[in-house]
Amino acid sequence: MRIFSIILADDEQQILYGMKKGIEWEKLGFRVAGVAQNGKEALELMEEVHPDLVISDIKMPFMDGLELAKHIHEDYMNTKVILFSGWDDFEYARLAISYGVSEYIMKPINYEEMQNLLMKMHEELDKEYNEKMNRARLEHAYMESLPLLRQQFFTRLVTEKMNKNELQSQIDNLKLEFTDAVYSVVAMKVGRGDEKDVLSELAVKQTIKEALEKITRVYEFGMSDNEIFILGSNKKHDVGRITRTIDEAVVLIERIFQSRISCGISVSREKIEDMPSLYEQALEALDYNLVTVEESYTYYNDIMPVQDVKEDWNTKVENIGKNITHYTEEELKSQVESLLAWLHRRQYSLNEYQVLILEISFSFSRFYKKYQITSDMEFAGTKKMAVKILSLSTGEELDHWLVNYCELIRSLIQKKQIDNNVILAEHARKIVEERFPDPDLSVETVCGELHVSSSYFSKIFKQETGGTFVNYLTGRRMEEAKKLLLQTDYKSQVIGNMVGYPEPNYFSYVFKKNCGMSPVKYRKQGGDADEG
């Protein structure tokens, strides 16, 4: 029997405890992965647990069950919801249906009724899992995949600059609908394992496609070993929603197929003629993601784009360039020495070898421009570099030069990346300091202003500060609230509004959770110094 995960949410602790302890969950095929006493806590748990089912009361503080169901419906499409209510209200039921709620049940519910309901939900979840693995369904999807002519058109669309008239003619003839306001591209590679076959791989691709189709128009096709998704929308793409959708699909793929994927995501553009550049961005982001295996996707704006290596010496040159920021000093030295060993077997003359080392060095030097590195050191100036290389009189000296030069680039880029991370975190802290009273300030609004994805920002902020952005923002608000409580006569609800909590009860809840006592008690005791 499959075991599905559940989150329970109810503001009455006794009912919550009774539900958790009073039902033999595992015998029914479920596991309680978390409990919450309000909708906000349940939503925070969602990101960590990704449950198959949420069972929630409707009437809860700070965020009720209906609003929770709405968030789940929008951002967690694989999760089913059961709502309990003591109110026989048609409007509640209507909203619940519109938010994709599976069951709307009136209280009180006895044990037998709950058991039957859970058995029904397990059967539905089991059926959905089986459908995703059903080979007949996959074979049908494979037979209904894009015809050869569409495949050829999509390939040309992302690799060539097509004449406008020809482009429109092809779109009309193939009955496609490229009428969207903006476009972006996602390039995906499916991780391969010994047990994987073509249908399993197709199932993974279909899962991603179905997930993206819930938020945007999707045009899908294969190129080389990658699956390409062109996303079309009538409004500017929200990269946060795209990445959350991919994250949700990844959870399902890992559960059902025990498979991993890597994705590269381009920025968005308004013109379909920009498709080749978007495709290149997606491929570049995918190349980066294949190195950072702990992430399932990389957004193009989160990396510094690197130009393609134009000279055709050896694939080692390209590989060193792509991975130079990730190598340790010893790893880089080993890669460069491997390149040099290959060059030696070509038996160049000294003059030829000097020119070749100079050309390879110039190829690497583009990183200075891409990463905006400035340096007065001898290696940084191309004129000085050319004079130095042409003055070297042995192959050993030239080899030593190239190894040192690559190590210099690696160290300067890594320092620049560290500096950039510090700057990003400082900008975020400055935004908090200036606007923490704004109740709408969030990770999403900060990322929008800094033009980075929430996943990248959250990782960098935690790396630089040791904590999450939400905790940092809450801490700053609590710090200001404490000061106002001790230094002014403002009422608690006024202070809450001044530090970003317009809902008085929620301000008291957050304050007590973070400070160990209510705002009123904190003021009465004179602050931290008198806390018992």
Find the CATH number of the domain harbouring 253: 3.30.70.270
What pLDDT shows up at residue 123? 93
Residues 296 and 320 reside in one and the same domain: no
Domain boundary residue, one of 384, 417, 450: 417
| Angstrom distance (rounded) from CA 463 to CA 152 | 44
My answer on whether 396 and 462 are in the same domain is no
Q: Please report the pLDDT score of residue 479 as a whole number.
A: 94
Specify the amino acid at residue 82: I
Instruction: Report how many domains make up the chain.
Output: 4
| pLDDT of amino acid 495 | 95
Residue 148 lies in a domain: no
Q: Are 256 and 125 in contact (CB under 8 A)?
A: no
219 - beta bridge partners?
230
Q: Which of 131, 159, 191 is the last residue of a domain?
A: 131
Tell whether 162 is covered by a domain.
no
Ranges of residues in the chain whose predicted pLDDT is under 50: 194, 305-312, 376, 378-379, 529-532
Q: Which helix (H) or strand (E) holds 207?
A: helix 198-213
Claim to verify: residue 181 and residue 298 sit in the same structural domain: yes
**Statement to judge: residues 266 and 211 lie in one domain:** yes
Q: Is residue 145 part of a domain?
A: no
Query: What H or E segment, with its residue span, contains residue 210?
Result: helix 198-213
pLDDT for the residue 384: 74
| Domain C-terminal end among 264, 281, 302 | 302
Domain enclosing residue 442, as ranges: 437-528
At 85, is the secondary structure helix, strand, or coil?
strand
- Are residue 189 and residue 90 in the same domain, yes or no? no
For residue 375, the model assigns a pLDDT of: 54
In this structure, the answer to whether residues 28 and 56 fall within a common structural domain is yes
pLDDT on residue 488: 93
Residues 290 and 360 occupy one common structural domain: no
165 in a structural domain: no
Same domain, 270 and 322: no
pLDDT of residue 510: 92
